[in-house]
Amino acid sequence: MAKPKVAFYWCASCGGCEETIVDLAEDVLKVVEAVDIVLWPVALDYKLEHVKAWQPGEVTVAFINGTVRLSEQLEWVRLLREKCPFVIAFGSCAHLGGIPGLANATSRAEIFANKYHRSPTIDNPQKAVPLISSSVDGHHLDLPEFFKDAKPLDQVIPVDYYLPGCPPPPENVAAAFTAILENKLPPKCSVIGVDKALCESCPRNETKPDDFTITRFKRVATSTPDPEKCFLAEGFLCMGPATRGGCGERCIKGNMPCRGCFGPTPDTLDAGLKMISAIASHGEADTEEAAKAFADSLVDPLGTLYRFSLPASMLRRRAMAGAEQ
């Protein structure tokens, strides 16, 4: 029997997810033994025509990481969806939008202005920005379109499974491979992780007092958390209670509160809003003024609560005016 064929593709991403495959260490050999990797832009040469030439079903599974931001990425993921019976959203960016998804807090025009006009290393007196189509001296250049916002994978194509995490833990990747090879697949659209929140497996959960109040939020940038105690009880915003477990508590072990890369638990619509609801209840404020001061102590709520999930949140992006709308 021929080895199953596997494709990897990246959209707007940092390459950290690819690093996870490398982090499989010796196990990567087993993967290579078991499957044929036919597409891996980060490691192998490839052409669009090659993929277009695939027979449908010829390649079993496509692992796609990164946020969809360019028309080129859209074309690729649509093509892979067409060709592959299984598409796996690989990593937080494909799953929820990830760090590139934070760009939804600003507009395309702002991004271009920052990148091409305001950046101190750019000399751009004509105020040029990339155009989809341009002609210079009879030469024609087409560039992919930069979409108005960033989107997780399932907002553009149907996704079969999600491997969350920034990056996904190698154990989960290995488990996913095993499941595919042994044909022990979970129900469609499953997220490979735990259905309970991170607190369940958090080594610090037992240190959480029955009742605690937070006077002002602390930030890891300006104060150091106790290495043993529950972050929330100490006043650091930890997304653990609202975030799906199964990540191996990597951040917690590094004395960093959970930042929510595994996304919301299955029963919530929006982890950020849920977190406000949960944590505000513990604020020490009995007057409207005190409540405001308490709320103001949480710097950049959007960036903190939706660090990995802005495009997959209920509101998805900042409200825009005019053409950006």
Among 115, 196, 216, 253, binds other proteins (CB under 8 A): 196
Minimum gap (Å) between residue 93 Cβ and other proteins: 17
Strands 139-142 and 133-136: antiparallel
CB 229 within 8 A of CB 204: yes
Question: 24, 79, 220, 291: which one contacts other proteins (CB under 8 A)?
Answer: 291
The stretch among 58-66, 167-175, 176-184, 280-288 that binds other proteins (CB under 8 A) is 280-288
Give the residue, chosen from 16, 241, 246, 263, that forms a contact with other proteins under the rule CB under 8 A: 241
Residue 181's alpha-carbon distances to 30, 35, 151, 176, in angstroms, are 12, 9, 30, 9
When the beta carbons of 208 and 229 are compared against other proteins, the nearer one is 208
Q: Would you count residue 76 as binding other proteins (CB under 8 A)?
A: no
Q: Cα–Cα distance between 299 and 322 in angstroms, integer? A: 29
Which residues in the 34-73 window bind other proteins by CB under 8 A? 68, 71
Q: Total binding residues for other proteins by CB under 8 A?
A: 68
User: Judging by DSSP bridges, how do beta strands 5-10 and 161-163 pair with one another?
Assistant: unpaired
Asked if 309 is part of the footprint of other proteins (rule: CB under 8 A), the reply reads no
Between CA 161 and CA 314 the distance in angstroms is 21
Residue 74 is a binding residue for other proteins (CB under 8 A) = yes
- φ and ψ at residue 216, rounded to 5 degrees: -140, 145
Closest CA to 313 of 263, 238, 258, 244: 263
Q: Does 82 bind other proteins (CB under 8 A)?
A: no
Closer to other proteins by Cβ: residue 5 or 307:
307
Residue 285 engages other proteins in binding (rule: CB under 8 A): yes
**Stretch of 44-52, 84-92, 249-257, 274-282 lying at the interface with other proteins (CB under 8 A):** 274-282
β pairing state of 68-70 and 133-136? unpaired
Backbone angles phi, psi at 141, to 5 degrees: -130, 130
- CB burial of 177-187 (b: ≥16 within 10 Å; e: otherwise) equals beebeeeeeee
For residue 102, state whether it binds other proteins (rule: CB under 8 A): no
Q: Supply the minimum distance, in Å, between the C-beta of residue 30 and other proteins.
A: 33
Residue span binding other proteins (CB under 8 A) among the ranges 16-24, 29-37, 173-181, 279-287? 279-287
Residue 282 found at the interface with other proteins (CB under 8 A):
yes
> H helices within the chain, ranges in order?
16-23, 27-34, 48-53, 71-83, 92-96, 98-101, 108-112, 170-181, 250-253, 271-280, 288-296, 301-305
User: 76: which 2 tokens?
Assistant: 């690729």
Query: Looking at 204, 279, 307, 308, which residue binds other proteins (CB under 8 A)?
Result: 279
When asked if residue 153 is in the footprint of other proteins (CB under 8 A), the reply is: no
Site residues for other proteins per CB under 8 A: 68, 71, 74, 105, 145, 147-149, 151, 155-156, 195-200, 205, 208, 210-212, 232, 240-242, 245, 265-283, 285-288, 291-292, 294-296, 298, 300-303, 305, 314-320
